[in-house]
Structure 1
Amino acid sequence: MLRSAIKLHKIGVKFISTNPSKRTTESISISKRDDYYKNLGDSGEKNDLKPPGWDEALPYESIPGPKPLPLIGNMWRFMPYIGEFSDMPQTDMYQILKNKYGNIVSLKGIPGRNPVAILFDVNDMEIALRNEGPFPLRTVAESVTYYRLEIRKDVFGGVGGLASVQGEEWFKIRSVVNPILMQPRTIQQYVGSMDKVAHELVDNIRYFSKQNENNEMPDDFQGELYKWALESVGLVALDRHLGCLHLNAPKDSEPQQFISKVNDMFVLMYQLDFLPPIWKFISTPALKRYVKILDYITDTTLKYIEESLNRSIAENIPDDQLSVTQRLAKIDKRIAVATGMDMLIAGIDTTGKTLATLLYFLAKNPDKQQCLREELLKNLPKKNSPVTKEVLNKSPYLKAAIKESSRIAPTAIGNLRTTVKDLVLAGYQIPKGTDVMTMHLLSSNSDEIFKDAAKFIPERWLRATEDQYSTKNVHSFAYMPFGFGPRSCVGKRLANLELEVATARIIRNFELSWPHEDMTFSGNLLYGITKPLKLRVKEL
């Protein structure tokens, strides 16, 4: 969630001069440099070493970037009405930024925030991410940390969750969570539950298609995908059917309120954590609303978790059938609460937006949709044939379509890290403790890296593809939808499973089309579609 929070860096550019960021370290012995970065490392024992080329590199202060104005710094550049890039799609904005300043840009002059070096070159991205150490440091949502560790100690007991802590504390939590959320065999146990939710979503799509003569989804269909996402993660995290997709559910139902509160939370989180942090000095109206919203989310989630834990005891559920929070609670209840809440919060917008993007691209590209359907017809001979792990294992085009959609419009468009050692990036000295951001949105949409990058071509990701479109020829750090290394997204296997099951079920039942102008994409914390997802569907 947090690594996508980078609209903060939507900045304007007015000063054009010679471009020192084109400076490289090619004159340095490649082998010496590679040996340095390979051996640096992970224990931190050699963090005081200077990398090859350090003395020849330009100082950090000379990295080009927009000049801050007195008092307001660079904040004005992405503010509504006055900001020169406030309404521009992020792909266009970052491309202009890269074109004017080069492969590295320094953003400074944001009150209450550290300067950040934005990286556009995939080789620099690789160096930065491969040298993050065993306890990667990244900017956390300070507002969440403050809420969990200060305001609601009664619930979290000093355990803020993976997104809220750093260092060894983060590592201890991750070590508990990884065996449950990162093991394929564990996650695959939930395929049946996911399929039940996907059936509900298909039933709703069928209902909506009959409500107008064009068989189109309603303007608020994106909200239906949020409900699907919450229902799916609720079954996995809590072993609870929340009833999110009930068509007759009132608009003020608890699941709908939960989704609305999460959406409001993200809006306020952007204001609190990525604009000047006035709330740190005075209790602002935004902070008060934020606390009230988080109280609702926390209390509701805690109620769900307590019910789930009591049910596991009363019914003596076998270990291999326990939900994620039930399993975690047997190790540490505080971690179970924090992780369960993170799953519910992070699993709504992220997965919901990703499915919306994928369905759009499939509707927009009927030939690719047909390729996927032909694969599914073989594996799901009947429309209601169960989706199983065996079916998914025999569906490479399904997985390729998900990857291709996330390449063009990734929900998380970059990774933010704090360096744990001195590095040389783009010919500049990057001292230990510097914030750096790897801008994968541009690299994954670059024609120099992906041939015909704007085109939706799932075949890129198939093992059988050997031509110029094959991703075998692409730098491995050009595409990072779930991050990299120890701090990559802990829910990536769960998210992919949800997407695979739902997409298989939808495409097997419907033919999708898009008789509208092209979709646009943007976002503050999360990147996604910006117009109503009015898919036209035809029953198969």
Structure 2
Amino acid sequence: EGALNNGLCKLMLVHRFPGQPRLCSSQSLEVRSSPRAAAGNKGEGRGAELLEPPPRRLGRVKSLHEMPGPNTLYNLYEFFWKDGFGRIHEIQQKHTQEYGKIFKSHFGPQFVVSIADRDMVAQVLRAEGRAPQRANMESWQEYRDLRGRATGLISAEGEQWLKMRSVLRQKILKPKDVAVYSEGVNEVITDLIKRIHTLRSQEEDGETVTNVNNLFFKYSMEGVATILYECRLGCLENNIPQQTVEYIEALELMFSMFKTTMYAGAIPKWLRPLIPKPWREFCRSWDGLFKFSKI
């Protein structure tokens, strides 16, 4: 299920107590009445009430200490020695089979609770309110403090995030406003089709297109730039401008963001002089993105 790929997001565990408002539309999370009780509801008078079973009691809520999950040494070996961040979906599936739909993990100083059930994830998200506390972004915030940059929509939290999100929703998230961008996006789609024909003509069989992921990555960049920057980057041209090439490289590094961020955040500051590469790459990718945004 796609929920398994939601992966390592820090989530607040929610338990539904009696009288609490319903948090999820899924019936799989609700305590269902037995057929016997249902029949009793259709019965007559007091006899039906006697047939109704007593209400189900909720068990004790387990603490985080009791929650199952892989030990810290195993995680360090799996993710850092065997490059587990590159196959996180496989590890998540394995852990779900071993520990269940809710389990905990440690990644250096980072403590993470994973939820591998779409209904449970929906329940948590609906319980967060208007200004949610999302995944830990300490490394993102540290970079901005280091470079003196303001917090953006992706790394903002709480009321600050809500304020930015409200502004964005007015401009780009309403369905009726999306049509404004259709002409520019259609031009990008036309260029993508032309690029595919060009790449096919360059192959021996005249049909195969290799490295499709890279092609659609550039297409996505071009489409987003058309909307956000109101300009074309040239990602789908035969000769891509050098500034755009540098931007693509920075984005490719940052879009392996999960891996880059986890490596940078999992290594304590005092270890960075001994293991400098993760934090250096993390900062370099962000530097490239901000550099391009100023052009």
Q: Deviations over 1:72-115 (max 9, x none)?
A: 4632133344x7x677672x43333222222322223x32112x
Residue pair 1:279, 1:287 contacting (<8 A) in 2 also: no
Instruction: Give the match's secondary structure for 1:36.
Output: coil
Taking structure 2 as the reference length, the TM-score comes to 0.72
Q: Give the Cα–Cα distance (whole angstroms) in 1 for the partners of residues 175 and 138 of structure 2.
A: 32
Paired residue secondary structure (1:106):
strand
Shift of 1:219: 2.8
Change (3 A) 1:185 1:89: same
Match of 2:268 among 275, 278, 289: 278
Q: Partner amino acid for 1:172?
A: K
Of 98, 103, 106, the match for 1:105: 103
Partners of 1:5 and 1:270 within 8 A in 2: no
Displacement, 1:194?
A: 0.5
After superposition, where does 1:65-214 map in structure 2 within 5 Å? 65-68=69-72, 72=73, 74-81=75-82, 90=89, 92-108=90-106, 110-114=107-111, 116-148=112-144, 150-153=145-148, 156=149, 159-214=150-205
Give distance in 1, aligned partners of 2:8 and 2:61.
29
On the 8 A contact 1:37/1:131 being kept in 2, the answer is no
Deviations 1:42-84 (A, max 9, x none): xxxxxxxxxx96763333322222233xxx4632133344x7x
Q: Is the 8 A contact 1:113 1:276 kept in 2?
A: yes
Change (3 A) 1:96 1:292: closer
Greater fraction of residues in helix = 2
Instruction: Answer 1 or 2: higher relative contact order, Cα 8 Å, separation at least 6.
Output: 1
Counterpart contact for 1:145–1:160, Cα < 8 Å: yes
Cα distance in structure 1, aligned partners of 2:142 and 2:207 = 44
TM normalised by structure 1 equals 0.42
> Among residues 223, 226, 230, which one is paired with 2:221 in the alignment?
230
- Which of residues 2, 11, 20 is equivalent to 1:36? 20
Q: Residue 209 of structure 1 contacts residue 216 of structure 1 at CA under 8 Å; is this kept in 2?
A: yes
State whether residues 143 and 269 of structure 1, in contact with CA within 8 Å, keep that contact through their aligned partners in structure 2: no
Return 5+ residue gaps in structure 2 as ranges: 24-55
Which residue of the partner structure matches residue 292 of structure 1? Answer: 284
How much has 1:236 moved relative to structure 2?
Answer: 0.7
Q: Compute the displacement of 1:258 (Å).
A: 0.6
What residue in structure 1 maps to residue 33 of structure 2?
none
| Paired amino acid for 1:258 | Y
Change in 2 beyond 3 A, CA 1:67/1:234: closer
Task: Say whether the 8 Å CA contact 1:105–1:119 is kept in structure 2.
Answer: yes
In 2, Cα distance between equivalents of 1:60 and 1:295: 37
Identity %: 21
- In 2, Cα distance between the equivalents of 1:78 and 1:101? 18
Q: Determine if the alignment matches structure 1 residue 58 to structure 2 residue 57.
A: no
Tell whether the 8 Å contact from 2:86 to 2:259 is kept in structure 1 after alignment: no
Bigger shift: residues 166-175 or 94-103: 94-103
**Structure 2: distance between partners of 1:104 and 1:77:** 19
Deviations 1:479-521 (A, max 9, x none): xxxxxxxxxxxxxxxxxxxxxxxxxxxxxxxxxxxxxxxxxxx
Deviation at 1:261, TM superposition (A): 1.4
* Deviation for aligned residue 1:245: 1.4
Query: In the alignment, is the contact (CA less than 8 A) between 2:7 and 2:114 conserved in 1?
Result: no
Whether the aligned pair in 1 keeps the contact of 2:200 and 2:208 (CA below 8 Å) is yes
Amino acid at match of 1:65: G
C-alpha distance in 2 between matches for 1:89 and 1:269: 10
Moved over 6 A (4+): 52-55
CA distance in 1, matches of 2:153, 2:228: 16
Task: Tell me: CA distance 1:183–1:272, structure 2 relative to 1, closer, same or farther (3 Å).
Answer: closer
1:282, 1:79 → 2: CA distance? Answer: 15
Aligned to 2:51: none
Q: Distance in 2 between matches of 1:257 and 1:152?
A: 20
AA aligned to 2:79 is F
Distance in structure 2 (CA, Å) of the matches to 1:301 and 1:194: 20
Alignment-derived partner of residue 17 in structure 1? none
Aligned-partner residue type, residue 134 of structure 1: R
For the 8 Å contact 2:109–2:267, the answer to whether it is kept is yes
Structure 1: runs of 5 or more not aligned: 10-24, 40-51, 304-540
Specify the alignment match of 1:255 in structure 2.
244
> Residues 53 and 216 from structure 1, CA distance in 2 versus in 1: closer, same or farther, beyond 3 angstroms?
farther
Match of 2:294? 302
Contact 1:66 1:107 survives alignment (8 Å): yes
Q: Secondary structure at the match of 1:79?
A: helix
Question: In the alignment, residue 238 of structure 1 is paired with which amino acid?
Answer: Y
Is contact 1:140–1:165 with CA below 8 Å preserved after alignment?
A: no
Distance, in Å, in 2 between the alignment partners of 1:286 and 1:107 is 20
Count of matched residue pairs: 253
Q: State how far apart, in whole Å, the 1-side matches of 2:247 and 2:156 are.
A: 25
Q: Which protein shows a greater Rg? A: 2
Change (3 A) 1:122 1:218: closer
The 1:164–1:199 alpha-carbon spacing in structure 2 relative to 1, beyond 3 Å, is: same
